[in-house]
Amino acid sequence: MLLDKLIHHLKLDKQEFLFQFNSHPNYPSALAFSDTLNFLGVKNDAYELDKEYWDELPEEFIAIVDNSFSLVKKTGTQYSIYSDNTKTLNKEDLHKKSADFVLLFEKDHSEQKSTTSYKPFIYAIFALIIVYSFLNQNIYAALFNVLSLLGVYISLEIFNQKFGNTSTVIGSICGDTAGNQNVNSCNKIIHQDKTSILGLKFSDFSLIYFAGLTALGLFLPATSLIVKGFTLASVIAIGYSLYIQAFVEKTFCRICLIIISVLVAQLAISLFLFENVSFDAKTSLLSLLPWILSFTMVLYLNNTLKDKENIQKANAKNLRFKRNYELFKKELLENEKINFTDNETLFVGNKEAKLHISIVSNPYCGFCKDGHKIVETLLEKYPDDISAQMRFNYSNENQNEKFTNLIGDFMFAYKNKTEKEFLQLVEYWFETRDESKISQKNGKISQPEDLTALIEMSAENKIAGLNFTPIILINGRQFPDLYDREDIYYFIDELIEDEEI
């Protein structure tokens, strides 16, 4: 299932989206798709809506078109469809090719992720090689190097596509079959290649060949005899590729034909336009070095990416069990419910919310920062559905003055400032860990705060055995030990809707 156009339009991290989607317990359902978008900051609501009401939909929505999740954009009387490919349909065709499922979304731009790419680095190297070639070599050698770089670029795109990073360049050249890029002629030939030498496919050797040839091309005309030999040897690869396309697969791959054209052009340039130089054993031996390096690098990358892909697939399958809400709920309900008598001190959020989170922490606990961040994030994202209580472990016995003053600052902010300011003060403490900055930010306190309620609340924590921090409780039940605290993000929507919880 390819979703490149849709993921790109929503400005999502493709690898993160696919990992979260594939690891969802209900993959590949509409629920899994909707939950994944929610998790990545694209708030959405799914509906089963008869086509007669689709005219009332907003200009952008997500639907299942040709059995694929697609972004639908209305432009006048036409609809642009973004999924495996981009196409335009009229209203009648859209209704025929779509299911009744629609998903209305709202992108939260603040949660967009920026991703780094190796391509600018590659392009910079390409540019340096081209500039060097045209300044220091004759026109034929420079043209030969440009063709080598073209071969490297196309081969890299094929190499990346092998690991799920679908190339828009290859897609645009090869086209689609019935809107599915997986079955176009290029992919059919590339992915069904039976060649395997140390795990490398025929297309991988194309990358090795052009990378090595690029390195040798920088030393022309000294390496011209070696280059001629390799371009002559490429005739074998050309013949093999044409045979596979014509007689085995019985379909021609456009991207393969472009590579063949590059090979033929380089063969012609090397045979008819390069200077003849005498054989030099030393140069010949040194010429092996670029090929060895490129082969080693491609082999290493291939094995590393393959291992990474296998690990991700295994993790995705395992996480389908871990993120199964029914299993999580079972573990949660097995923990004995704790009924606190004090549910008011340092209470934040909607008092009428059905879902209440308690966090037992200590301001000087290093791990508590992440626990508080989770609670603050949930309160910000679900202000009407969640309440929370900060249950600091504090006793007036054997406590130093700094700890007492810090707790006093928290109590003062809670009683005299807004809820948002109180939460910001707690967050500021975990960022700075500086008592003087907290006092300064809080303002001058005329008299010490009464900490009785907080001391009694801490005593309740101790009686309940909540001594180690941080501890998160959901409606009085301790968050299951089998799960990481961050896993609560995957279950929060179902927890809010679960009447039993």
426-475: pLDDT as tens digits: 999 999 989 889 988 887 666 778 888 989 999 999 899 888 889 999 99
Q: Which residues pair with 472 in a beta bridge?
A: 359
Q: At 106, is the secondary structure helix, strand, or coil?
A: strand
Reference 203, options 166, 151, 252, 247; nearest CA is: 151
Q: Provide CATH 3.90.70.10 ranges for the chain.
A: 4-111
Where residue 108 falls among pLDDT bands split at 50, 70, 90?
low
Helix (H) or strand (E) holding 21: helix 14-22
Higher pLDDT, 38 or 148: 148
Where residue 210 falls among pLDDT bands split at 50, 70, 90?
very high
Instruction: Provide φ and ψ at 220, rounded to 5°.
Output: -65, 145
pLDDT tens digits, one per residue of 303-355 = 888 888 777 777 767 777 777 888 899 999 999 999 999 888 999 999 999 99
Q: At 2, is the secondary structure helix, strand, or coil?
A: coil
Q: Considering only 5-14, 86-95, 234-243, which range has the smallest mean pLDDT?
A: 5-14
Mean pLDDT score across all residues of the chain: 83
- Percentage above 70 pLDDT, the chain: 89
Q: CA torsion 62→64→68→71, rounded to 10°?
A: -20
Q: How far apart are CA 180 and CA 163, in angstroms?
A: 17
Higher pLDDT, 161 or 65: 65
Q: Provide CATH 3.40.30.10 ranges for the chain.
A: 336-497
Higher pLDDT, 300 or 46: 300
Reference 475, options 330, 343, 328; nearest CA is: 343
Is-contact 220 270, C-beta < 8 A? no
Position 388 scores a pLDDT of: 95
Structure-token pair, residue 465: 């055995």
Position 153 scores a pLDDT of: 92
Going from the C-alpha of 153 to that of each of 170, 171, 236, the distances in angstroms are 11, 14, 22
Reference 57, options 66, 65, 47, 70; nearest CA is: 47
Instruction: Provide φ and ψ at 355, rounded to 5°.
Output: -105, 120
Tell me if the domain spanning 119-314 has CATH number 3.40.50.1820: no
Q: Hunting for tokens 């809670």 — which residue is that?
A: 414
Is-contact 386 378, C-beta < 8 A? yes
Residue type, 492: I
Segment 127-131 shows an average pLDDT of: 94
Structure-token pair, residue 348: 């934040």
Q: How far apart are CA 501 and CA 496, in angstroms?
A: 8
Q: Hunting for tokens 């920088």 — which residue is that?
A: 218
Chosen CATH of 336-497 out of 3.40.50.1860, 1.20.1250.20, 1.10.1040.10, 3.40.30.10: 3.40.30.10
Evaluate if residue 48 carries a pLDDT over 80. yes
Q: How far apart are CA 189 and CA 251, in angstroms?
A: 8
Q: Provide CATH 1.20.1440.130 ranges for the chain.
A: 119-314
- Helix residue ranges, H only, 382-498: 401-416, 419-432, 435-442, 452-463, 488-497
Task: Tell me the whole-structure pTM to 2 decimals.
Answer: 0.55
Q: How far apart are CA 431 and CA 369, in angstroms?
A: 8
Evaluate if residue 183 carries a pLDDT over 50. no
Is-contact 361 368, C-beta < 8 A? yes
Instruction: Calculate Rg over the CA atoms of the chain.
Output: 31
Going from the C-alpha of 238 to that of each of 146, 241, 261, 264, 440, the distances in angstroms are 20, 5, 9, 8, 75
Higher pLDDT, 490 or 312: 490
Q: How far apart are CA 197 and CA 195, in angstroms?
A: 7
Position 181 scores a pLDDT of: 40
Reference 345, options 389, 380, 292; nearest CA is: 389
Structure-token pair, residue 32: 């899994």
Is-contact 459 393, C-beta < 8 A? no
Position 191 scores a pLDDT of: 62
How far out from the chain centre does Cα 64 lie?
22
Topology of the domain covering 4-111: Cathepsin B; Chain A (3.90.70)
Higher pLDDT, 161 or 92: 92
How far out from the chain centre does Cα 9 lie?
14
